[in-house]
Amino acid sequence: MTSQDLLLRILNKLFLGLAAAGIFFGVMGRSRAAERPNIVLILADDLGYGDVSCYGATKVQTPNIDKVAESGLRFLDAHSSSATCTPSRYALLTGEYPWRKKGTGILPGDANLIIKPGSTTLPEMLRKGGYKTGAVGKWHLGLGDGEIDWNTEIKPGPLEIGFDYSFIMPATADRVPCVFVENHRVVDLDAKDPIQVSFKEKVGSDPTGQEHPELLKMRPSHGHDMTIVNGISRIGYMSGGKSARWVDEELAQTLTKQAVGFIEKNKDGPFFLYFATHDIHVPRVPNARFAGKSGMGPRGDVILQFDWTVGEIVKTLRQLKLEDNTILIVTSDNGPVVDDGYQDQAREKLNGHRPAGPLRGGKYSAFEGGTRVPFILSWPGHVKSGVSDALICQIDFLASFAQLTGCRLNQADGPDSLNILPAFVGDSKMGRDYVVEHAFVLALRKGNQKFIEPGKGPKFSKPTATETGIDPDGLFYDLTDDIGETNNLSIQVSEKAKQYQAELEKLRKE
């Protein structure tokens, strides 16, 4: 980090203190008093930069998302912190780059909570500031602090890191246990049929995909061959909890209903809803309403399903007359992947669709497709509609919403979160001057220049067909005329590459 960045960060936190004291102030232009709109964050899973029609998709249409974009601000250079789920969400909620902390990689379904209870997180900050906070959907940040007993109170979890209410899938839909947890309890659990979970060995007598592929309605392509739940084999083994198991075909409906319920219950506000959908992650099992409707197989169908979800939330806000008083954000936790472990015809039926649009790479990758994601923010009457190419990152929600709402942050909170509120609300075209992109290796973006640090490992991962962005000599691109990262300049600009590497090292040590 340059001394200028450091100064900016200190000033940021200083301003936040003043905001918390309720003092009017202006940043880069227009003055904003602390405002307390509701905040609804819809976080899709694995939705790519090219997967929605307002970002250029033509083979699949997403009218509800497009409508949000028409009335809001559509960002062209918005990033998740990481190219996979757990670290990306860790950063979004804590304001800390996940690569600073061990154990923040993709978690198994029985992992313990990786965010320290009581620490400052986005929901904790807002809750302390008077917001009602809810988490609905995919969690994947771990639960408990020892061996988890799924049949009793499961904690710590979302409620201990700032949420007033939670209705979650513990990890992912392709990992056991395939049950919902509401606050501290598994939903609809029959005490006579207790749940047991293991990621090491088979438990109970449920068939596995490996033993009984003939029982499967969707076969795995790699991994995902353990306990069969609802005709789909998962990662990990589980037994029991039959009455509590979810039905994949109803996941989107169930989660959307919970999200809508939270908004209705808290309509008097202010509230913060973190709505992390299962779509469009694997296994892709659309509801009958969407099955076969995209012509692109299940992957396209669940894009339609996600679009429906967004429409339901918009409808709810409209019916409750909350639209003008609610910031609605639609974004994704990381880039797209076509085959992520099930034979669901995603590749065969792509039909020329490009999930990452013009970007190279996707989920797991250090190329832009890994972390550059769709990002739309709408706040009618407050944020002018349009398109922004400001460089922004989800890690900045913490510091930026602190400024917006007047909630208090201490100097040590969210160490990597920058207050870029003016960019989020369209008052400024300037976002961050740099961002670190995190995949197998780190990459540093400064303006349109991008350096991917040297690394060891395969350049291409066959099962998911991912270009990893790993290169033993490192890579350097100027995205100005090369958004697809085709022209590696690392030899031509070797001095600059060295300088970027040194900056990354410095950031690492902070």
Q: Which residues bind ligand NG6 (CB under 6 A)?
A: 45-46, 84-85, 106, 140, 172, 174, 222-224, 235, 281-282, 340-341
- Work out the number of other CB atoms within 10 angstroms of the CB of residue 269: 18
The entry of Ca ion, ligand NG6, none that residue 38 binds, CB within 5 to 8 Å by partner kind: none
Residue 412 token pair: 């040590």
Q: Any bridge partners for residue 197, and if so which?
A: 238
- Residue 38 or 81 having the CB closest to ligand NG6: 81
The entry of ligand NG6, Ca ion, none that residue 341 binds, CB within 5 to 8 Å by partner kind: ligand NG6
Distance, in Å, from the CA atom of 315 to the CA atom of 318, rounded to the nearest integer, reads: 5
Of the residues 51, 174, 307, 333, which one makes contact with Ca ion according to CB under 5 A: 333
The entry of Ca ion, ligand NG6, none that residue 374 binds, CB within 5 to 8 Å by partner kind: none
CB of 96 to ligand NG6, least distance (A): 18
The entry of Ca ion, ligand NG6, none that residue 217 binds, CB within 5 to 8 Å by partner kind: none
Distance, in Å, from the CA atom of 335 to the CA atom of 85, rounded to the nearest integer, reads: 10
Short-list 469, 453, 401, 448, CA closest to 129: 401
- Residue 160 or 174 having the CB closest to ligand NG6: 174
Apex 423 CA angle, 419 and 425, nearest 5 = 105
Residue 374 token pair: 């769709």
- Residue 239 or 334 having the CB closest to Ca ion: 334
**Range in contact with Ca ion (rule: CB under 5 A) among 38-46, 289-297, 408-416, 427-435:** 38-46
- Residue 85 or 232 having the CB closest to ligand NG6: 85
Binding residues for Ca ion restricted to 84-113, rule: CB under 5 A = 85
The entry of ligand NG6, Ca ion, none that residue 106 binds, CB within 5 to 8 Å by partner kind: ligand NG6
The entry of ligand NG6, Ca ion, none that residue 76 binds, CB within 5 to 8 Å by partner kind: none
Residue 12 token pair: 């940021």
CB of 350 to ligand NG6, least distance (A): 18
Distance, in Å, from the CA atom of 222 to the CA atom of 343, rounded to the nearest integer, reads: 9
Establish if 174 lies at the interface with Ca ion (CB under 5 A).
no
- The answer to whether the CB of 141 falls within 8 A of the CB of 85 is no
CB of 45 to ligand NG6, least distance (A): 6
Distance, in Å, from the CA atom of 398 to the CA atom of 105, rounded to the nearest integer, reads: 21
- Residue 365 or 378 having the CB closest to ligand NG6: 365
- Residue 85 or 93 having the CB closest to Ca ion: 85
429-440 per-residue burial string, b: 16 or more CB within 10 A, e: under 16: eebbebbbbbbb
Burial (Cβ within 10 Å: 0-12, 13-18, ≥19) of residue 33: exposed
CB of 283 to ligand NG6, least distance (A): 9
Which residues fall within 8 angstroms of residue 152, CB to CB, at 6 or more apart?
none
The entry of Ca ion, ligand NG6, none that residue 136 binds, CB within 5 to 8 Å by partner kind: none
Distance, in Å, from the CA atom of 137 to the CA atom of 130, rounded to the nearest integer, reads: 23
Site string for Ca ion, 279-298 (x = CB under 5 A): --------------------
Closest CB to ligand NG6 belongs to which residue?
223
Distance, in Å, from the CA atom of 117 to the CA atom of 100, rounded to the nearest integer, reads: 18
- Residue 223 or 311 having the CB closest to ligand NG6: 223
User: Number of residues in contact with Ca ion, rule: CB under 5 A?
Assistant: 5
CB of 370 to Ca ion, least distance (A): 11
Residue 35 token pair: 């405002």
The entry of ligand NG6, Ca ion, none that residue 174 binds, CB within 5 to 8 Å by partner kind: ligand NG6
CB of 84 to ligand NG6, least distance (A): 4
- The answer to whether the CB of 432 falls within 8 A of the CB of 442 is no
CB of 461 to ligand NG6, least distance (A): 10
Distance, in Å, from the CA atom of 76 to the CA atom of 91, rounded to the nearest integer, reads: 20
Cα separation values, 498 from 1, 333, 403, 475, 503, Å:
14, 30, 36, 11, 9
Please report, as a single letter, which amino acid is at residue 409. L
Q: Any bridge partners for residue 166, and if so which?
A: 135
Distance of CA 14 to the CA centre of its chain: 29
Closest CB to Ca ion belongs to which residue?
85
- Residue 30 or 222 having the CB closest to ligand NG6: 222
Establish if 51 lies at the interface with Ca ion (CB under 5 A).
no
CB of 402 to ligand NG6, least distance (A): 27
Which residues fall within 8 angstroms of residue 46, CB to CB, at 6 or more apart?
85, 280, 281, 332, 333, 334, 335, 336, 337, 340, 363
Apex 418 CA angle, 31 and 86, nearest 5 = 135
The entry of ligand NG6, Ca ion, none that residue 344 binds, CB within 5 to 8 Å by partner kind: none
- Residue 301 or 333 having the CB closest to Ca ion: 333
CB of 275 to Ca ion, least distance (A): 15
Distance of CA 358 to the CA centre of its chain: 21
Distance, in Å, from the CA atom of 454 to the CA atom of 436, rounded to the nearest integer, reads: 14
Of the residues 294, 334, 403, 405, which one makes contact with Ca ion according to CB under 5 A: 334
| Residues at the site binding Ca ion, with contacts judged by CB under 5 A | 45-46, 85, 333-334
